[in-house]
Amino acid sequence: DALRGELQQVMEADCGVFRTETVLADGLRKVSALAGRMADVRLRDHSRLFNTARIEAMELENLMDCALATVAAALARQESRGAHTRIDYPQRDDVHWLRHSLYHRDTRSVDSKPVRTRPMTVDSFPPKERVY
């Protein structure tokens, strides 16, 4: 519970709606340090039925991965868009940032792929009467 509370505090303080490079870099450092502490997390209850401690540990592991991805992608994205507001980059930049951020957990790196603006599916069929 303590580690989860620390993660929540770091995310609120260092990855809020209004962001700067300095605050995000500090947040990434803090979240990375918290993620490093995950290796020390131990379960006292090893039962397999109704083990809420096991579920909470799995949720914390998932939250940690999501926090790392969120802070790393926010740091990499040098623009403001939607709920992502970078005070140091106040304008939306479709030329450079109209793309999806991809976080790679194993390497802790951020990559991207373009946003497809054309549908990839076949056009829908027009409605017509069923005939058998």
52 to each of 5, 48, 60, 76, how far by Cα in Å?
Answer: 17, 10, 12, 36
Can you list the positions of beta strands (E) in 14-88? 18-19, 85-86
Predicted TM-score (pTM) of this structure:
0.83
For 24-52, the pLDDT digits (tens) are 999 999 999 999 999 888 888 888 788 88
For 81-132, the pLDDT digits (tens) are 988 999 999 999 999 999 999 999 999 999 999 998 877 777 777 777 777 7
Query: What is the dihedral sign for C-alpha 84, 89, 94, 98?
Result: negative
Q: What is the dihedral of CA 1, 13, 31, 64, to 10 degrees?
A: 50
Distance, in Å, from the CA atom of 96 to the CA atom of 69, rounded to the nearest integer, reads 20
